[in-house]
A = this chain, B = another copy of it.
Amino acid sequence: MSKLLTPTEIEQELATLQSWTQAGNQITRTFTLPSFPAALAFASAVGHLAERADHHPDILIQYRKVTLTLSTHSAGGLTEKDFHLATEINAIA
């Protein structure tokens, strides 16, 4: 079971996590891809990482934009799992 991060810990994590922002109990980032097929392929790649981590962001595809939203629902907020997966996603963006 992942431990909820404190507001200070969340701030520290966000400081090193490029382009993600906090929205309440979640972190979110929108990626703009060159095309709709590229957006789909990116969503699929994110899905691969999510399945490997057994941690699943909400994935919203709007034409060539992909918005990811991460939270640890079982813990009721943000945990290391969210920042770990967000870092992995940034690495493939």
B residues less than 8 Å from A59 (CB atoms): 43, 59-61
Residue-wise interface mask of A (37-78) relative to B, using a CB-CB cutoff of 8 A (1 in contact, 0 not): 100100110010011000010111111000000000000000
**Residue of B with least CB distance to A59:** B61
- A60 — which chain B residues lie within 8 A by C-beta? 58-61
- In the complex, chain B residues whose CB is within 8 Å of the CB of A47: 36-37, 40, 61
Residues of chain B with a CB closer than 8 A to A63's CB: 56
Shortest beta-carbon distance from A14 to chain B in Å: 23
Residues of A within 8 A of B (CB): 36-37, 40, 43-44, 47, 50-51, 56, 58-63
- Besides A43-B43, A59-B59, A61-B61, 14 other A-B contacts (C-beta < 8 A): A36-B50, A36-B51, A36-B56, A37-B47, A37-B51, A40-B43, A40-B47, A43-B59, A43-B61, A58-B60, A58-B62, A59-B61, A60-B60, A60-B61
